[in-house]
Amino acid sequence: MATTTQPANIGASAGDPEVTASIAALITDAPVPHPTLWKTFSAMMAREFRVLGRNAPSTFIRAVLQPLLFAFVFAYVLPKIGSGFSAGGGAAAGGVNFATILVPGLMGSMFLMQGMFGTTMPLIMEFSWQRTIEDRALAPVPIQVLGIQKITAGAIQAFIGAAIVFPVVYWVHAPGQGPHIHVTNWFLLAVVMIFASTMTASLGLWLGTVVDPRKVQMLFAVILLPITMLGCVYYPWSALHVIRWLQIVTLINPMVYMTEGLRAALTPSLGHMPLWAILLALVGGTVVFGALAVRTFHNRVVN
């Protein structure tokens, strides 16, 4: 073999017998791996949490700022200004303060934001020019498992993001403008939150695999904004009966079922869509978008 003149900063020179021995030992003394689906899956989840932990400050700011600003403007600034707004917001709910209406809506929009930020954005990076996705794709599990792992990680982020809304709206409001929320059915709340977060993460994975990375800005204009604005965030679905066509059209918006599901669990007295319709949409949506996303993900990784 050729001998090398090795600048010190380049590192190992295999011409050195000690280095040669240590490289040889990598082959001769290698531990024997026994991968299983579960070990690989949990190692991948551990990796997600390591990255989340490292990015904790920015993740936290992203997760807190949106509900904080919403609560500040809608539950503090506007009630303080008083006048027409509370009439507008309260019209549908008949005297209920806006914070109460807003909590489920805000949580719904957090599901979407976090689910998409947590799944779509990293995925688009991984599929971009260096295709770092190939690193994880070579792990000894079917590609579909990697897709399910990404949905799981995104769902956990969405769940936490939505849960942060509770403390924020409890603390940030004008005197007497706090939300009136009584969780009477914790089980229903858990079911709604779990399926809402899994559905948004599935939606996020699907978008991340079908959207051209160069057109990612379009996601916000064409997907995120309409879904949020028309997702019954600022008003309950039942209040839309005065604009019947919109009430029907918004049924295709997955966000509607998240916010209505949360209304059913958090503010049942205000009225909500029938529970069977909510659960059918959330569970069905999770299954359909999940299966679709895992499929498109596989086809995008293996070409």
Partner 1 sequence: MTTVTARLNGHGAPTATSAIKTEGLRKTYKSSRGDVEAVRGVDLDVPQGEFFGLLGPNGAGKSTTIGMLTTLVAPTGGKAWVAGHDVTKETVAVKRRIGVVTQNNTLDMQLTVAENLMFRSRFFGLSTSVAAKRAAALIDAFGLSDRKNAMADQLSGGQARRLMIARALVHQPDVLFLDEPTAGLDPQTRVNLWDILQVLHDQGQTVLLTTHYMEEAEALCDRIAVVDHGKILAEGSLDKLLADSGAQTVVTVRYEEPVPEGLAERAGLAERPGVSKIEAEGDQLRVFSTDAEGLLGDVVTLGTDNGLHVRDASVAKPSLETAFLALTGREYRE
- Strand positions, DSSP E, 187-241: none
- Which residue in this structure is represented by tokens 């958090």? 266
Of residues 9 and 217, the one with the C-beta less far from partner 1: 9
Q: Per rule CB under 8 A, is residue 184 in the interface with partner 1?
A: no
Whole-angstrom distance, CA of residue 231 vs CA of residue 260: 9
Whole-angstrom distance, CA of residue 83 vs CA of residue 186: 36
Residues numbered 120-149 forming contacts with partner 1, rule: CB under 8 A: 129-143
| Choice from 54, 80, 180, 215 touching partner 1 (CB under 8 A) | 54
| Choice from 36, 80, 183, 226 touching partner 1 (CB under 8 A) | 36
Q: Per rule CB under 8 A, is residue 24 in the interface with partner 1?
A: yes
Q: Per rule CB under 8 A, is residue 22 in the interface with partner 1?
A: yes
What spatial distance separates the first Cα and last Cα of the chain, rounded to whole Å?
Answer: 39
Whole-angstrom distance, CA of residue 229 vs CA of residue 146: 32
Whole-angstrom distance, CA of residue 191 vs CA of residue 188: 5
Whole-angstrom distance, CA of residue 293 vs CA of residue 146: 11
Q: Per rule CB under 8 A, is residue 39 in the interface with partner 1?
A: yes
- Strand positions, DSSP E, the chain: none
Q: Which stretch binds partner 1 (CB under 8 A): 34-42, 67-75, 113-121, 288-296?
A: 34-42
Count of residues in contact with partner 1, rule CB under 8 A: 57
Of residues 35 and 284, the one with the C-beta less far from partner 1: 35
Of residues 120 and 286, the one with the C-beta less far from partner 1: 120
Of residues 111 and 127, the one with the C-beta less far from partner 1: 127
**Residues 296 and 206: beta-carbon distance below 8 Å:** yes
State the Cα angle at 154 between 150 and 158, rounded to 5°: 170
Q: Per rule CB under 8 A, is residue 221 in the interface with partner 1?
A: no
What residue ranges bind partner 1 (CB under 8 A)? 1-2, 4-7, 10-15, 19-20, 22-36, 39-40, 43-44, 46-47, 50-51, 54-55, 129-143, 301-303
